[in-house]
Amino acid sequence: MMKVKSASFFKLLLLQCLTVLTFAAQDDSFDFFYFVQQWPASYCDTKRSCCYPTTGKPAEDFSIHGLWPNRDDGSWPSNCNVEDSSFNVFEVLDLITRMQQDWPSFSCPSSNGVRLWTHEWKKHGTCSRLNQHQYFQTVLDFKEKANLLHVLEHAGIFPGGFYSVEFIKDAIKACVGYTPFIECNVDQARNHQLYQVYLCVDKFASNFIECPVFPHGRCGGSPIEFPSFSSSRADS
């Protein structure tokens, strides 16, 4: 009986040691950030559809998806602080109006954004070495620095049209100074369309940089659609 008890005690001890070692070994290093903006019309016109935020349908503009720490080898850290990763809205009260405008959630059912911000903070923000206020403020400021809709319209690229990926990339590089990565998705009519634009930011979250590595994948069609948001529909 004593033998069985001590065997299970040692098993428990071993398990605890392994858990501690796993946490200690978790690699939260990173080399740069992806700053990802999304074209809401392309999120909404897919098979999955979307729901407008509880604050109403936003104006036609790119929205923020997130600021994601990444490594030069293409891997990335995530969920870096499982113990204290809760999103506290009171820490960003002064930013809420901007967050609602520039970082809305389009998932269903309609939401006020808190679920998306919580997800982004937990998964990516906790690895950023920024505190919560710095993280959200930094992201909002980068959106102002790279006003993509303005940049594209300046180059003659308007919602509702079809354009080559190279033309879109060149237009962004000409204004922002750095080459973006363009991610496409597919609408219900199987058109390949502009979905997300990735720009890279140095690891201090200070400046745009050339991307050390791009995400995998490329847009299937060329030209691709830049769908209009004004004609897009959402579920309630």
Does 150 participate in catalysis according to the annotation?
no
Q: Minimum distance between the CB of residue 48 and ligand AMP, rounded to whole angstroms?
A: 8
CA distances in angstroms from 195 to 14, 93, 118, 215, 225, listed in the order given: 47, 29, 22, 14, 9
In the set 119, 124, 150, 166, the catalytic residue is 124
CA distances in angstroms from 149 to 87, 97, 106, 142, 228, listed in the order given: 29, 20, 19, 14, 12
Does 124 participate in catalysis according to the annotation?
yes
Q: Minimum distance between the CB of residue 63 and ligand AMP, rounded to whole angstroms?
A: 6
Question: Considering beta carbons, is residue 38 or 137 the nearer one to ligand AMP?
Answer: 38
In the set 60, 83, 91, 120, the catalytic residue is 120
Kindly state the tokens that stand for 3: 């033998």
Question: Considering beta carbons, is residue 19 or 54 the nearer one to ligand AMP?
Answer: 54
Does 65 participate in catalysis according to the annotation?
yes
Question: Considering beta carbons, is residue 63 or 193 the nearer one to ligand AMP?
Answer: 63
Q: What three-state secondary structure class fits 67?
A: strand
Q: Minimum distance between the CB of residue 14 and ligand AMP, rounded to whole angstroms?
A: 33
Q: Minimum distance between the CB of residue 59 and ligand AMP, rounded to whole angstroms?
A: 15
Residues 6+ apart with CB under 8 A from 212: 31, 32, 72, 200
Q: Which helix (H) or strand (E) holds 21?
A: helix 2-25
Question: Considering beta carbons, is residue 105 or 191 the nearer one to ligand AMP?
Answer: 105
Q: Minimum distance between the CB of residue 158 and ligand AMP, rounded to whole angstroms?
A: 22
Burial 191-220 (b: 16+ CB within 10 A, else e): bbbbbbbbbbbebebeebeebebbeeeebe
Chain centroid to Cα 45, Å, comes to 19
User: For residue 9, how many C-alpha atoms fall within 13 Å in the half-sphere facing its CB?
Assistant: 6
Site residues, ligand AMP (CB under 6 A)? 38, 43, 63, 65-66, 105-107, 116, 120, 123-124
Question: Considering beta carbons, is residue 143 or 171 the nearer one to ligand AMP?
Answer: 143
| CA–CA distance, 56 with 157 (Å, rounded to integer) | 26
* Residues with a known catalytic role: 65, 120, 124
